[in-house]
């Protein structure tokens, strides 16, 4: 019995080996799991469920197949694929979860999220986030023709690459106070997130209680998965793609 957590695959046409590795992961490992949680940034970018990209179809089919074999898959949006909507959820048979969510994993309450909202030392990003997460702005964006959305997204991605070069690595990590606040707000001591690409299991003491925060790794040269089993054993593993 195992529940699996992954994030930050950043699937795109430019990285076919990661997609191939993901499909193998679904067939070899996820089929034996109780559930699969994808905590955001499954895709490198997302400009609407109506994007006729073949990659989306391949991934939707593979996830739907997993569902048909009895393994439920849950998804929390990342900062890149936040526009994944009901249509893709239906095609992939994934359940879309809210951005912060307390789940029960073998009797333990665990807070799961993508993790970008914990990076409170990057006000530039949070401003950008507030803007593009505005439902009205999203509605307008989604009403644009596909070629325009592609053009805007390409431009934003190039700008972001440029601005990330000037950001310090501390700024791109989670803020410890934001972590404590999130745990307090949800009344939990366990948390799993991705986004920072700094895979680790952090032990902390909060109010005299031992607390754990697992950070999922990004998929680059290797895949990354967190395995949780009923004996409360958690294992952060990296595997070749
Ligand atoms: C996702 C990020 C690009 C970071 C644009 C309104 C706007 C949605 C959008 C376009 C971009 C998602 C949907 C993408 C995340 C980037 C660059 C930086 C830091 C609008 C609503 F602007 F036109 F109003 N977008 N895409 N970034 O390419 O997937 O998270 S994206
Ligand atoms: Mn992210």
Nearest CA to ligand 1 atom 13: 47
Q: Which numbered ligand comes closest to the C-alpha of 133?
A: 1
Give the residue among 179, 195, 210 at the shortest CA–CA distance from 5: 195
Task: Give the Å distance between the CA of 116 and the centre of ligand 1.
Answer: 14
CB atoms within 10 A of CB 207: 9
Provide the pLDDT for residue 167.
Answer: 81
User: Ligand 1 atom closest to Cα of 46?
Assistant: 29
Binding site membership of 153 for ligand 1 (Cβ less than 6 Å): yes
Annotated binding residue at 8? yes
**How many Cα atoms sit within 13 Å of 240 on the Cβ side?**
0
Annotated binding residue at 202? no
Q: What's the rounded Cα separation, in Å, for the pair 123 and 71? A: 38
Annotated binding residue at 195? yes
Provide the pLDDT for residue 232.
Answer: 76
Burial group, residue 72, by CB count within 10 angstroms (0-12, 13-18, 19+): middle
Provide the pLDDT for residue 202.
Answer: 97
Give the residue among 181, 195, 225 at the shortest CA–CA distance from 21: 225
Nearest CA to ligand 1 atom 22: 132
Q: What's the rounded Cα separation, in Å, for the pair 133 and 233? A: 36
Tokens of 37: 């949680």
Q: What interface predicted TM-score (ipTM) does this complex get?
A: 0.98
Annotated binding residue at 122? yes
Binding site membership of 152 for ligand 1 (Cβ less than 6 Å): yes
Provide the pLDDT for residue 163.
Answer: 86
Task: Give the Å distance between the CA of 192 and the centre of ligand 1.
Answer: 24
Q: Which residues of the chain have pLDDT under 70?
A: none
Which of 138, 153, 166, 167 has most ligand 1 atoms within 8 Å of its beta carbon, as the pocket-test mutant? 153
On whether the CB atoms of residues 73 and 36 are closer than 8 A, the answer is yes
């Amino acid at each position: 019995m195992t529940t699996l957590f992954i994030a930050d695959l950043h699937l795109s046409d430019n990285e076919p080996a990661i997609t191939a590795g993901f499909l193998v992961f679904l067939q070899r490992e996820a089929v034996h799991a109780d559930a699969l949680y994808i905590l955001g940034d499954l895709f490198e970018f997302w400009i609407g469920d109506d994007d006729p990209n073949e990659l989306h179809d391949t991934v939707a089919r593979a996830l739907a197949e997993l569902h048909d074999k009895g393994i439920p898959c849950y998804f929390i949006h990342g900062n890149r694929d936040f526009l994944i909507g009901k249509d893709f959820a239906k095609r992939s048979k994934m359940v879309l979860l809210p951005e912060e969510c307390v789940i029960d994993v073998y009797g333990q309450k665990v807070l799961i999220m993508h993790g970008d909202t914990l990076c409170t030392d990057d006000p530039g990003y949070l401003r950008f986030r507030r803007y593009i997460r505005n439902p009205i702005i999203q509605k307008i964006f989604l009403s644009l023709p596909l070629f325009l959305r592609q053009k805007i997204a390409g431009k934003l991605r190039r700008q972001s690459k440029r601005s990330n070069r000037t950001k310090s690595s501390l700024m791109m990590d989670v803020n410890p106070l934001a972590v404590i606040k999130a745990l307090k707000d949800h009344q939990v001591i366990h948390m799993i997130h991705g986004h920072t690409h700094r895979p680790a299991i952090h032990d902390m003491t909060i109010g005299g209680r031992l607390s754990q925060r697992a950070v999922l790794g990004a998929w680059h040269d290797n895949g990354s998965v967190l395995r949780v089993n009923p004996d409360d054993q958690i294992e952060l593993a990296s595997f070749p793609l």
